[in-house]
Amino acid sequence: MADDDVALIADIRNGSERAFNVLIDRHQQAVRDFLRRLLADASEADDLAQETFMVAWTRPGTYRGDASVRSWLCAIAWRKARGAQRAWFRRRAREGTWAADVAPMVSPPSPESVLVGRALAALPIEQRAAVVLCLIHDFSHTEAAAILGAPLGTVKSHVARGKARLLAALGSQA
């Protein structure tokens, strides 16, 4: 899959529509889920996911080949999410209104999911991002550190603390 992805990027550089379609199909779930768990608004998250793939189409040369293509896409998505979050804080400060706190977009199917979803949404964004990448999308700590542009130790600590809080939320239900 990884070599295949690199070949896709090479084809996209040559303007291949087919390769771009395959890239979207292959990675949309991870990119959209990552963004949906970082942002309060599902449609905004999907909007940024579309922009992420637009970057893959317009600037495939920014993929240097030192990480997986999925890591590269998630790193683009992370930068976009941080930008959107800063804009959201500015907007909130300007308007003086406090919107509902960050919450998962898709209505969860069970009370336990609600609890875990709330606990995840309550984590600081860096911690949440590390948890989502490592516990949901199976990135290694090293990969997550590269995506988030954070030191490895910080990411390990984010994942450990985040996971402890999620388990505590789950435990409080039991």
Partner 1 sequence: MTDGWMPDKDAKLAQLLRADLPPARDPLFRLDVLARRERQRFRRQLLVALTFGAVSDLRNLVSPLFGRVSQAIARSFVD
Q: Does 1 bind partner 1 (CB under 8 A)?
A: no
Considering the complex, state which of residue 37 and residue 146 has its C-beta at the smaller distance from partner 1: 37
Q: Does 96 bind partner 1 (CB under 8 A)?
A: no
Q: Of all residues in the chain, what percent are helix, strand and coil, respectively (each to 5)?
A: 80, 0, 20
Residue from 24, 55, 103, 150 binding partner 1 (CB under 8 A): 24
CA-based max dimension of the chain: 55
Are 95 and 36 in contact by the 8 Å Cβ rule? The answer is no
Considering the complex, state which of residue 29 and residue 142 has its C-beta at the smaller distance from partner 1: 29
Cα distance between residue 44 and residue 84, in whole Å: 9
Q: Does 102 bind partner 1 (CB under 8 A)?
A: no
Q: Does 88 bind partner 1 (CB under 8 A)?
A: no
Half-sphere exposure of 91 (CA within 13 A, CB side): 7
Cβ 50 to partner 1 shortest distance, Å: 5
Are 93 and 60 in contact by the 8 Å Cβ rule? The answer is no
Cβ 93 to partner 1 shortest distance, Å: 29
User: Going residue by residue from 58 to 87, which x/- string records binding to partner 1, judged by CB under 8 A?
Assistant: ------------------------------
Cα distance between residue 88 and residue 51, in whole Å: 17
Cα distance between residue 22 and residue 45, in whole Å: 21
Cβ 92 to partner 1 shortest distance, Å: 26
Q: Does 152 bind partner 1 (CB under 8 A)?
A: no
Cα distance between residue 65 and residue 87, in whole Å: 31
Residue from 10, 11, 28, 157 binding partner 1 (CB under 8 A): 28
What's the distance, CA 151 to chain centroid? Answer: 18
Which residues contribute to the site for partner 1 (CB under 8 A)? 21, 24-25, 28-29, 32-33, 36, 46, 49-50, 53-54, 57, 104, 106-110, 112-113, 116-117, 120, 134-136, 138, 163, 166-167, 170-171
